Amino acid sequence: MNPMPPSLDTIAEKLHLQKKKKYRLNGHVHSTVSDGQLSPQEIVELADAQNMLFSITDHLRIDAYNVVDSSRIIPGVEVKVAEGGVDFLVHTDTREELETFFREVVVPANPGNTMYGPTRLQVHRLLGEAFDRKAHVVVPHYATAEGLSVLDTSAQEAVAKYPVFMEMNGRVGRAKNRQAKKFASTHNLPLIASGDSHLRSQYTDTHTTFKLQKASEPTADEVFAALRLRRVQFLLKHASWLDTIRTGVASAKSMMLQRDGLLYYLCNAARNSFGKRGIEDNRPTASQQLQETLETADVDDAVDS
């Protein structure tokens, strides 16, 4: 007996699954939890209306995820490290993973619970913990007062040894984004275009377009795996001087509500302008690891005897 031929609906479904779908991602937006103009819920509504993916990356805060649960929102946070006040974006696959990372790694390094810094979290600790937990890390606004370029060359090269993404940022000028692109090219790092969005007009004007063979919204892991293939398109709208001023005013207002927020930002920017900074590396060297192994062996022998 011949099997029944597949129905037209089944064929259409298979063709739909085989066809790659385009996605647009703005992986660096701020909500009213920090210094953005849209609330977390408004960002979800915008994602639905514009058929986009967003990552809400508030400054040292993940409160947005207490009220947001959408497949169009990739969990994330913007973290400022101790060295130079440099920012990093950390993205996880699930809200639970973000909450665990934040609670176990970020909170202990931020005893003052500041939003804009400083923290005691060192670069290698942040990156090590993030990648141990299979998170995804983006280096934002490379050539700014809070970007990786404030660190010295050896420190930048140390960061480039990790599988990070470099961001082309919608809030900075073309020259600064060219520097980020050059750094990515030199170190063979993948690029992502994000808005660093604060103003209402900035949430959809910069994004990265990529394709995935998915019938449903992709997970963060699937998104960053697709971005790492580098078959992407960038829409990058550089901020005007007026937008830059308006964004600065909005951020300054938010900083003034935080203890020492604006003062720290201004002092850190001034300090970085006087020279490059290094990074602390408290990881044990090979000789130190060998010495620790020998000491452990001696202790074990003593216990056995």
pLDDT bracket for residue 117 (50, 70, 90): confident
> Other CB atoms closer than 10 Å to residue 197's CB: what's the count?
28
Residue listed under structure tokens 């508030």: 58
What is the pLDDT confidence band of residue 4, given thresholds at 50, 70 and 90?
Answer: low
Q: How many other CB atoms are found less than 10 A from the CB of residue 249?
A: 11
CATH number assigned to the domain covering 18-304: 3.20.20.140
What does the pLDDT look like over 106-116, one tens digit per residue? 999 999 888 88
pLDDT at 216: 78
d(CA 193, CA 189): 13
pTM of the model: 0.80
Q: Which residues contact 123 (CB under 8 A, 6 or more apart)?
A: 81, 82, 83, 86, 155, 158, 159, 279, 280
Q: Residue 214: what pLDDT?
A: 79
User: Over the stretch 136-191, which tens digit does the pLDDT of each residue have?
Assistant: 999 999 999 999 999 999 999 999 999 999 999 998 989 999 999 999 999 999 99
Q: Is the pLDDT of residue 244 over 90?
A: no
Residue 59 has a pLDDT of 94
Rounded Cα distance, 268 and 262, in Å: 10
Domain boundaries, the chain: 18-304
Lowest mean pLDDT among 177-181, 214-218, 221-225: 214-218
Rounded Cα gap, residues 194 and 142, in angstroms: 12
Bridge-partner residues for 26, per DSSP?
Answer: 54
